[in-house]
Amino acid sequence: MHKEGTNIGVLALQGGFAPHIHMLQSLGYRPREVRYAYELDLCHGLILPGGESTTIYIQAQRMNLLEPLLRFAKRAPLFGTCAGAILMAKLGILDVNVERNAYGRQIASFCEPISFQKHCFSALFIRAPIIRELGSTVEVLATHQGMPVCVQQGHHLAATFHPELTEDGTIHRYWLEQIKQNQEA
């Protein structure tokens, strides 16, 4: 929770949820780990972290979270990073076609500068997916070598890299503004 009463959840089934929690804390929030459907009712926004997308999907299925996630996405902003972006595409929350591990194995991970909202920072790509196709309502917010690496559809945001593993909170702040606008609507 933030001093303005905004509750931010981070899906904590598998993967890199802890760095998102740390990033949100550095921005003045006290996020909650989300593992059960009822916890979604307590949130104004939810981060789907990186990790292993198939494992996250299977865990969400076992925890009966898939339908609740779809309902949540209709009312509140999601932010998916790496595997989280893949999960958003698989569930039809984000109208994109994503290729998993498109840059290669873990050893092929890299850090490259990208520009987001006129702000340049280093983006960390770890076994990152590539967004191959975009639906007509998906807006590209950042690219790397001509390929979309950060996109927005409605109030949902997805990045194929890991902004939570840097000290730069620009993208998280942008998404938190989406939550604020959603609350005001």
Distance from the Cα of residue 157 to its chain's centroid: 6
Dist CA 131 CA 113 (whole Å): 18
Catalytic residue among 20, 39, 43, 164: 164
Question: 7 with 28: CB under 8 angstroms?
Answer: no
User: Which residues, at least 6 apart from 124, have a Cβ–Cβ distance to it below 8 Å?
Assistant: 109, 110, 111, 161, 162, 163, 165, 166
For this structure, is 167 an active site residue? no
For this structure, is 99 an active site residue? no
Catalytic residue among 20, 82, 156, 172: 82
For this structure, is 162 an active site residue? yes
Distance from the Cα of residue 168 to its chain's centroid: 15
The two most distant CA atoms of the chain are separated, in Å, by: 44
Q: Is 157 helix (H, G, I), strand (E, B) or coil?
A: strand
Would you name the residues annotated as active-site residues? 82, 162, 164
